[in-house]
């Protein structure tokens, strides 16, 4: 089996876990090592015969603390033992306060692979938000070293379209095989709310109270119209579940009888089964929007980032957009009614999404016929 090293954000964030799930199932004859040294993901990883995490023993920990060895950034050994490197993720190029250290670390990892003439791929990402020219220039240099950079939105692509290795294809999750998750004849009276703590997003702290108020009003309206509600946390680590508790504290006891909570903790089959039961998804999380479109569920996007509006603009799905500045639209009855029918034809997107892995297919000598295309 070919061994490939995968740098991916693992924090029980549904979107990133779906990326890894799709990658592992798409290439069952390839062995993937994820750039993760903790044990929290062992149960999740055990569900795949071809996914492992980096080995990090007690002796490694001791050596790391005493600065005798570096078993976390020993990228020379990693590059030696793997055929290729993949950066797999969505919003992995944001200008944060720790940019310099993260960039230095990524550059070191990429350089070790390129020094050995081994390919480096960046798949499924968008670029930004960013503020400085220096940040843009840093990643221009990094992308030049890579063999393939496939963005999921046109705005990111246009920033770097002068580089021959940069291209664009629809989000990776659009190619997800959903047949196993759809229950024929399932009762659909549930409205899902994908909740996000805007305090964890740069520049959005001031919208915290407005977001809570508008979400509470939307829940009350939906319940009044006869629907049950499910408040979903896609990533507990980023505050989703804490905000759900705050929202619930503003609901009456009568309304709470119609409200359930789901906290994603790594069970993809379970969460997908739940989402398929929704009649409408009021979606703040980026991949909540993708899943609503993929599963043919009515959609009301709550836009906290340009990455969501860019994606919807790219696919011509801008009928309803609720921005942070217009949160009152989240509980507008006309918008709610229209949301139930706000769906899209996603077959072209699913086919385009497969192109995210075009260069990896070529590396592994996989043809369209092998993929059943």
Q: How many other C-beta atoms lie within 10 A of the C-beta of residue 107?
A: 15
pLDDT of 37:
84
> For 12-31, what is each residue's pLDDT tens digit?
999 999 999 999 999 999 99
pLDDT of 56:
52
Residue 40 region by backbone torsions, left for phi larger than 0, else alpha for psi between -120 and 50, else beta:
alpha
pLDDT of 370:
54
d(CA 220, CA 246): 15
pLDDT of 179:
83
pLDDT of 184:
52
What is the gyration radius of the CA atoms in the chain, in angstroms?
A: 21
**Domain(s) of CATH 3.40.50.2000: residues in the chain:** 190-348
Over the chain (373 residues), the average pLDDT of each successive run of 10 is: 95 97 97 92 96 68 48 85 97 93 96 98 96 97 98 97 98 91 70 94 90 98 97 96 98 98 97 94 97 96 95 92 96 97 92 97 76 49
Q: Percent of the chain at pLDDT above 70? A: 92
**Cα→Cα distances 150→122, 158, 358, Å:** 6, 12, 9
E-strand stretches of the chain: 2-8, 30-34, 51-53, 84-88, 120-125, 148-151, 166-168, 190-195, 228-233, 259-263, 278-283, 298-303, 322-323
pLDDT of 66:
44
**Residue 64: both structure tokens together:** 């790391």
E-strand stretches of 245-354: 259-263, 278-283, 298-303, 322-323
Domain 190-348 superfamily per CATH? Glycogen Phosphorylase B; (3.40.50.2000)
CA 113 to chain centre: 25
CA 260 to chain centre: 23
d(CA 81, CA 94): 29
What does the buried/exposed string (b/e) look like for 350-367 if buried means 16 or more CB atoms within 10 Å of the residue's CB?
A: bebbbebbebbbebbebe
**Domain(s) of CATH 3.40.50.11930: residues in the chain:** 2-168
Fold for the domain defined by 2-168 = Rossmann fold (3.40.50)
* Residue whose token pair is 């001031």: 206
pLDDT of 256:
98
């Amino acid at each position: 089996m070919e061994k490939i090293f995968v740098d991916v954000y693992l924090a029980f964030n549904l979107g990133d876990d779906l990326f890894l799930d799709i990658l592992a199932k798409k290439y069952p004859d390839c062995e993937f090592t994820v750039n993760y040294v903790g044990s929290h993901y062992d149960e999740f990883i055990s569900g795949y015969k071809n996914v492992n995490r980096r080995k990090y023993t007690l002796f490694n920990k001791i050596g790391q603390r005493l600065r005798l060895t570096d078993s976390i950034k020993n990228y020379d050994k990693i590059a030696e033992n793997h055929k290729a490197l993949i950066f797999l993720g969505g919003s992995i190029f944001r200008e944060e306060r720790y940019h310099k250290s993260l960039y230095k670390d990524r550059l070191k990892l990429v350089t070790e692979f390129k020094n050995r003439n081994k390919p480096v791929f960046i798949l499924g990402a968008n670029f930004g938000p960013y503020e400085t020219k220096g940040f843009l220039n840093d990643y221009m240099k990094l992308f030049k070293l890579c063999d393939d950079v496939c963005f999921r939105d046109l705005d990111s692509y246009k920033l770097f379209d002068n580089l021959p290795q940069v291209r664009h294809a629809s989000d990776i999750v659009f190619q997800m095989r959903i047949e196993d998750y759809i229950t024929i004849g399932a009762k659909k009276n549930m409205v899902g709310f994908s909740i996000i703590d805007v305090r964890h997003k740069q520049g959005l702290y001031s919208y915290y109270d407005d977001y809570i108020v508008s979400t509470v009003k939307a829940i009350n309206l939906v319940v009044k119209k006869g629907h049950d509600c499910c408040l979903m946390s896609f990533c507990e680590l980023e505050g989703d579940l804490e905000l759900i508790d705050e929202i619930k504290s503003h609901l009456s006891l009568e309304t709470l009888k119609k409200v359930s909570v789901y906290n994603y903790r790594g069970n993809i089959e379970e969460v997908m089964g739940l989402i398929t039961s929704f009649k409408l998804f009021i979606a703040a999380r980026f991949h909540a929007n993708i899943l609503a479109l993929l599963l043919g569920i009515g959609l009301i996007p709550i836009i906290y980032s340009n990455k969501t509006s860019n994606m919807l603009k790219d696919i011509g799905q801008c009928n309803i957009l609720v921005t942070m500045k217009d949160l009152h639209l989240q509980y507008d009855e006309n918008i709610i009614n229209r949301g139930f029918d706000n769906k899209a034809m996603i077959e072209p997107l699913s086919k385009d999404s497969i192109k995210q892995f075009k260069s990896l297919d070529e590396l592994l000598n996989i043809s369209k016929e092998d993929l059943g295309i």
